[in-house]
Amino acid sequence: MASMKLSEIAGLLGGELQGSADPEITGAAGLADAHSGDLTFVSGKAFLKELKITKASAVIIAPGLECSLPAIRLENPYEGFAIFLERFQAPLDRVFPPGVHETAVVDPTADVSRATSIGPYCVIGADCIVGQGSRLASHVTLGPDVEVGKNCQLYARVAIREKCRIGDRVILHTAVCIGTDGFGFLPGRSGLKKVPQVGIVIIEDDVEIGSGSCVDRATTGQTVVGQGTKLDNLVQVGHNVKVGNHCVISAHCGIGGSTVIGNGVSIGGLVGVSDHVTIGDGARIAGKSGMFKDVPAGATVFGVPAIDVKESFRLFSALRKLPELIRRVRKLEETQLGKDQ
């Protein structure tokens, strides 16, 4: 990035420049990692101690917080920092060189004419459609009859199986698998008989899915990930799951088959959701929780099994007192035994 004056950045972000100094900014970093020339940010009082010792040349800071560095005042410093970071992203043409690479295998019935980039060793199956402006990195595999919308980014080794549909502006990171078979087996005398998985997956517009995540195809019908939803790395979404719009699901979560997740739901890391559970709109599931029953809209739950977060904290507080309680009970029993003798 070419250097910018702090005043130029303030204008870009719509913030208020504090002080008369107007340093040259050449980079961006967190408080602990920043050096001379870097712009950093502080969003709350908890980070003011780190701000005092940072080597950054300037800071984006919330109104009302004290600061000795040249600063830009913004109501949401993190949002402003994120906007500034966009200037450091590698150009898409660098990551996804335009054109169809000579090593790509494209079925004659597939339509990639409007795609911007089909990378090395991609395999595009029969009757696939790749929309205008979409970009595929190396080793992406599209099974037959797959549809990819406009302006999507599919990174290396993404695999999308037959008949699945991807909306517009979808980002699939490295090694994402869409449309793998749902986990369906019938036990019998001769072992486990596989149940055919003949449904599809629909990924709606503006979804982003992290590396190594899998979304299973439906047994029949559709598995759906709703508009604007973001999945972290290593998330497993089971067959026939319906994930609503604008949800956030953190790493290492497993969502059991036929679960319904409402709009605006937040799920922390390492959460396990049993099958056929319904989670209401706006619910929040704390990390490492185990979900075995429905969660009402707007609830915040935690624990295994997950219960209301306030109740769970009371239980954990009581649990910490249990060893002392056991010691006291044993002492009372010993005293009573001595009296009986």
Exposure b/e, 288-305, CB count within 10 A at least 16 = b: ebebeeebeeebbbbbee
Strand partners, 309: none
In degrees and rounded to multiples of 5, residue 208 shows phi and psi of -130, 130
Instruction: Centre a 10 Å sphere on the Cβ of residue 228 and count the other Cβ atoms it contains.
Output: 18
The rounded distance, in Å, linking the Cα atoms of 81 and 64 is 18
Cα angle for residues 176, 179, 114 (degrees, 5° grid): 75
Contact of 233 with 253, CB cutoff 8 Å: no
Q: Identify the three-state secondary structure at position 225.
A: strand
Instruction: Centre a 10 Å sphere on the Cβ of residue 165 and count the other Cβ atoms it contains.
Output: 20
The rounded distance, in Å, linking the Cα atoms of 101 and 140 is 12
Exposure b/e, 103-130, CB count within 10 A at least 16 = b: ebebeeebebeebbbbbeebbbbeebbb
Which residues are known catalytic residues?
A: 239
Measured torsion, CA atoms of residues 181, 269, 297, 311, in degrees rounded to the nearest 10: 130
